[in-house]
């Protein structure tokens, strides 16, 4: 297959990734895999001798997945499922012999996408109760093992699938574009903005007598250390500067009010409110 489609868009090798469930016993797990496929952008599913199958129930559990469910192929043997593939990746809860090519999903995701440029590349999942047989694993060039705790290595089938499919999505570079940075996002605060902010904070703290029992130098150093860790942008630095100014302004106003009240002769009979 060519690596360029006629539209000129680079070919998305995920379209050649084939998900194969070997003798799945539980319809809910099939639906879980279908849903994960829709989440992660895989479309081709083959079921080998499923214990039960009902497309309506699957779309009832995994809504809006008809584009996948309508194309599910059901076959009798693994040989049949893998006949056209150029690469097969097995999956296993744990490494059972030293003779297989075990790998973590992150590394093998790169590998399957690379192989999928040349033709159908399959990932095979085993039965819920016994996993893949040795004969089935013999058909796999690599075997992906999702890291788990040692005591509990067997993942639910659909969850194991999701971890691996997620790695394939990330490796494909087709995950969604970076998170929006927000309207307010401006460049990092400049040295001058930071010094103005620290000056305003120090003056504000001084106005509220924060340094009465603390050394201003060490308080300011701690504040600098803490705020330096947050990589403030210009907007944030100006906001903190305003906090400092406001502490100063409010304190000044209160002091003025107090001074005026002291200078004024008491208003007898005046409640101060109209």
Neighbours of 179 (CB within 10 A): 6
Q: Which residue is associated with the tokens 């002291």?
A: 262
Which stretches of the chain bind ligand SAH, using CB under 6 A? Answer: 91-93, 125-126, 128, 130-132, 144-146, 148, 153-155, 157, 160
Neighbours of 103 (CB within 10 A): 17
Q: How far is the CB of 143 from ligand SAH (least distance, A)?
A: 8
Q: Which is nearer to ligand SAH, 93 or 223 (CB)?
A: 93
Q: How far is the CB of 94 from ligand SAH (least distance, A)?
A: 7
Residues 6+ apart with CB under 8 A from 85: 18, 119, 120, 121, 122
Buried-state track 197-220, b at ≥16 Cβ within 10 A, e below 16: bbebbbebbbbeeebeeeeeeeeb
Give the span between the Cα atoms of 17 and 14, in whole angstroms.
Answer: 5
Q: Are 150 and 88 in contact (CB under 8 A)?
A: no
Query: What is the token pair recorded at 184?
Result: 């307010």
Q: How far is the CB of 20 from ligand SAH (least distance, A)?
A: 10
Q: How far is the CB of 57 from ligand SAH (least distance, A)?
A: 20
Residues 6+ apart with CB under 8 A from 48: 20, 21, 22, 23, 75, 76, 77, 78, 80, 81
Q: How far is the CB of 126 from ligand SAH (least distance, A)?
A: 3
Q: Which residue is associated with the tokens 């559990």?
A: 61
Q: How far is the CB of 156 from ligand SAH (least distance, A)?
A: 7
Q: Which is nearer to ligand SAH, 106 or 235 (CB)?
A: 106
Q: Which is nearer to ligand SAH, 165 or 237 (CB)?
A: 165
Q: Which is nearer to ligand SAH, 141 or 148 (CB)?
A: 148
Q: Which is nearer to ligand SAH, 136 or 247 (CB)?
A: 136
What size, in residues, is the chain? 274
Q: Which is nearer to ligand SAH, 25 or 242 (CB)?
A: 25
């Amino acid at each position: 297959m060519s690596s360029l489609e006629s539209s000129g868009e680079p070919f998305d090798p995920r379209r050649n990734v084939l998900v194969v469930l070997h003798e799945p016993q539980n319809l809910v797990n099939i639906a879980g895999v279908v849903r994960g496929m829709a989440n992660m952008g895989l479309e081709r599913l083959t079921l080998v001798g499923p214990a039960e199958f009902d497309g309506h129930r699957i779309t009832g559990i995994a809504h809006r997945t008809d584009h996948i469910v309508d194309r599910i192929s059901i076959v009798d043997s693994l040989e049949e499922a893998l006949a056209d593939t150029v690469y097969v990746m097995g999956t296993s809860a744990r490494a059972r012999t030293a003779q297989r090519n075990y790998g973590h999903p992150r590394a093998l995701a790169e590998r399957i996408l690379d192989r999928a440029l040349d033709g159908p590349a399959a990932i095979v999942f085993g039965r819920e109760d016994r996993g893949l047989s040795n004969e089935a694993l013999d058909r796999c060039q690599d075997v992906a093992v999702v890291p788990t705790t040692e005591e509990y290595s067997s993942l639910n089938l659909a969850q194991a699938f999701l971890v691996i499919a997620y790695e394939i999505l990330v490796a494909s570079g087709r995950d969604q574009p970076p998170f929006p940075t927000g309207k307010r996002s401006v460049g990092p605060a400049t040295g001058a903005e930071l010094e103005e902010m620290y000056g305003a904070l120090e003056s504000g703290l001084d106005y509220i007598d924060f340094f009465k029992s603390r050394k201003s130098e060490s308080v300011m150093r701690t504040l600098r250390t803490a705020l330096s860790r947050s990589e403030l942008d210009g907007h944030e630095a100006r906001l903190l500067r305003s906090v400092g100014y406001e502490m100063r302004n409010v304190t000044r106003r209160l002091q003025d009010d107090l001074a005026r009240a002291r200078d004024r002769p008491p208003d007898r009979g005046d409640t101060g409110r109209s």
